[in-house]
């Protein structure tokens, strides 16, 4: 059964945007996440070249920029509608993209909480997510 995630954008864009987990949408989402992670690596590389630690707002700017870019690509928005997307609630747009990444690709969008380690809670039961143990291969015999 297909998965559907909807961006409620009727007020800003004149309609809501339901997105299904098509191969094309999964590919767009994966490529968008890769681009975001590469841009975050560039922040670190630039900071190292300048012999300093990366600043948290630098990461925030990259994350926000790529959320907008990636959602615009996913929804096939033109320049004008992408500008309108920028005027929407950051939380609403980010939550939509996070849900798409999780539902379609089983991936998580980078967040400031993940970078700082502060406030990363599991959304289902409000418990703080614990690091996962490495999986071990077990001989079935």
Say how far apart CA 28 and CA 111 lie, in whole Å: 19
Do the Cβ atoms of 128 and 121 come closer than 8 Å? yes
> In this predicted model, what pLDDT tens digit does every residue of 17-34 receive, in sequence order?
999 999 999 999 999 999
| HSE-CB for 69 with a 13 A CA cutoff | 13
**Phi, psi of 17, deg, nearest 5:** -120, 95
- Is residue 20 within a helix (H) or strand (E), and if so which, with residue range? strand 17-20
pTM of the model: 0.78
Residue 107, beta-bridge partner list: none
Give 113 or 38, the one with higher predicted confidence.
38
Which residue shows structure tokens 């309108």? 84
Please, what is the Cα angle at 4 between 110 and 99, to 5 degrees?
A: 15
Q: What residue ranges do the domains of the chain occupy? A: 4-116
Do the Cβ atoms of 128 and 33 come closer than 8 Å? no
Task: Label residue 138 by pLDDT band (50, 70, 90).
Answer: low
Task: Label residue 130 by pLDDT band (50, 70, 90).
Answer: very low
pLDDT at 86: 93
59-84: buried (b, 16+ CB within 10 Å) or exposed (e) per residue?
beebbeebbbbbbbbbbebeeebbee
Say how far apart CA 94 and CA 1 lie, in whole Å: 25
128 has pLDDT over 70:
no
């Amino acid at each position: 059964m297909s998965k559907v995630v909807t961006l409620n954008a009727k007020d800003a864009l004149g309609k809501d945007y339901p997105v299904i987990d098509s191969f094309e949408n999964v590919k767009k989402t994966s490529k968008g996440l890769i681009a975001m992670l590469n841009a975050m690596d560039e922040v670190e590389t630039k900071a190292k070249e300048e012999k300093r630690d990366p600043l948290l707002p630098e990461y925030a700017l990259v994350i926000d920029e790529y959320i907008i870019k990636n959602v615009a690509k996913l929804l096939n928005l033109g320049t004008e509608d992408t500008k309108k997307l920028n005027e929407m609630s950051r939380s609403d747009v980010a939550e939509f993209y996070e849900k798409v990444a999780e539902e379609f690709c089983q991936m998580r969008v980078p967040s400031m909480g993940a970078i700082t380690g502060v406030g990363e809670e599991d959304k289902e039961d409000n418990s703080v997510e614990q690091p996962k143990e490495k999986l071990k291969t077990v001989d079935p015999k």
